[in-house]
Amino acid sequence: MDFSLEGRVALVTGAARGIGAAIAEKLAAAGALVHLADRDIAQAEAKSAEISAAGAASRALELDVSEPQSWQATLSEIERSAGDLDILVNNVGLTMSKSIEDTTIEDWRLLMRVNLEGPFIGTKAALPLMKKSALRTPYGGSIINVSSISGIVGTANLACYTATKGGLRYFSKSAALEFAKAGYKIRVNTIHPGLTEGASANVLFKASVDSGVCGSMDEAKKMWTSRYPVNRMAHPRDIAAGVLFLASDASNFMTGTEMIMDGGLTA
């Protein structure tokens, strides 16, 4: 099975750290020119330098996914410097663990703006360039939206987060159908990670400690991890491997669907 991305151009949001950084590394190692987009431009540049030092091609770009003007500036720069865009990974996301009673309208709007509006704005902004780029490759372009198992099932104290991730799942399905019927040669799929090492998992652990359910972060980690049949959290590189598959021509007959990577939790 060929996962080569030689000659492809990719954009990964939230690529300075965590899952986004692992995705950028994986796509670059497969041969793509990867643009690491993040609000934290200094960390994005540092990660890009690591990728380049390993012999792969990458660039860092500053991007606020909630701002249409920021998206336009980023896409204009990619078109100017690279000429094409084959792969878009909408990875940026915020996690919040609160009861519905404690969730404010400001909390709700913040998560909607980043987790749901961001991918919508990004898809819309990237479409003109991706439509042109899709004509030069056998199977066209690929958009991968990073959702969550919380976009598949509900979870107590994650109502706001699950609403955004479920919305992203169904936005992606609709976009996939629309682009296929229009003949754009652009596939759209979602990937749904379970508990993954990094900042988002720590939010859940801290909420368990703050609520008194667990006495320490280590205890919270053990409690959350024990729910998974494989008895461990995912590493960001595990999720990146799934994104590589969806970005590559190996998944050319997949669009409008989801890849669940949760160690068996939702089974």
Q: How far apart are CA 130 and CA 153, in angstroms?
A: 32
Using CB atoms within 10 Å of the CB of residue 90, give its burial: 0 to 12 exposed, 13 to 18 middle, 19+ buried: buried
| AA letter at 255 | T
Q: How far apart are CA 154 and CA 216, in angstroms?
A: 25
Q: How far apart are CA 77 and CA 36, in angstroms?
A: 13
Dihedral class, residue 263 (left if φ above 0, else alpha if ψ from -120 to 50, else beta): left
- In the sheet that holds 87-90, the strands lie side by side as 57-62, 33-38, 9-13, 87-90, 141-146, 186-193, 258-261
Length of the chain in terms of residues written: 267
Using CB atoms within 10 Å of the CB of residue 106, give its burial: 0 to 12 exposed, 13 to 18 middle, 19+ buried: exposed
Q: List the structure tokens of 267.
A: 């089974």
Q: How far apart are CA 196 and CA 262, in angstroms?
A: 9
Catalytic residues: 161
User: What angle separates helix 18-29 from helix 41-53, to the nearest 10 degrees?
Assistant: 30
